[in-house]
Amino acid sequence: MPHAQFDPTARQALAVAAVDAKTRKDLSWQQIADVTGGLSVAFVTAAVLGQHALPDHAADAVAELLGLDADAAMLLRTIPTRGSLDGAVPTDPTIYRFYEMLQVYGTTLKALVHEEFGDGIISAINFKLDVKKVADPEGGERAVITLDGKYLPTKPF
């Protein structure tokens, strides 16, 4: 039976412990995702950081790999209270840049989505995320981030 959390404190503490274990064991997020039986690295990372529930087999495998106990595996299975940022402007430079991108391009994305699809939203639940590093023709590297969400139209009632 699925269980949901209403207080994010336990999952936040688990995320801290999991990242500590990941660091101590010198594991990559991909290595952690590899033990889940096919879940994406983005989904598993989000789950370990407290934003998704893992299926039973994946929660057990991740907990075992990280050396976490049965209580941690149970928490990894629970449906979290989502949202990792408080209401303040983010101070971490990487997170802030995403915030800045939405400040600058949020209304553009909204306008283009509505023009293309009509009134509705892009789901963050029926969603795929991918991050790739590619060579920049002008030198250095570029980050290619793909946000792939199902379009959900607004339905009058």
In this structure, what token pair is assigned to residue 152? 């959900």
Q: How far apart are CA 102 and CA 150, in angstroms?
A: 19
Residue positions annotated with a catalytic role = 97, 100, 123
User: At 30, which amino acid appears?
Assistant: Q
CA angle (73 as vertex; 14, 33 as ends), nearest 5: 85
Look at the alpha carbons of 16, 20, 21, 27 in this order and tell me if their dihedral is positive or negative: positive
Q: How far apart are CA 43 and CA 9, in angstroms?
A: 20
Residue 150: CB atoms within 10 Å: 13
E strands within the chain? 120-135, 141-153
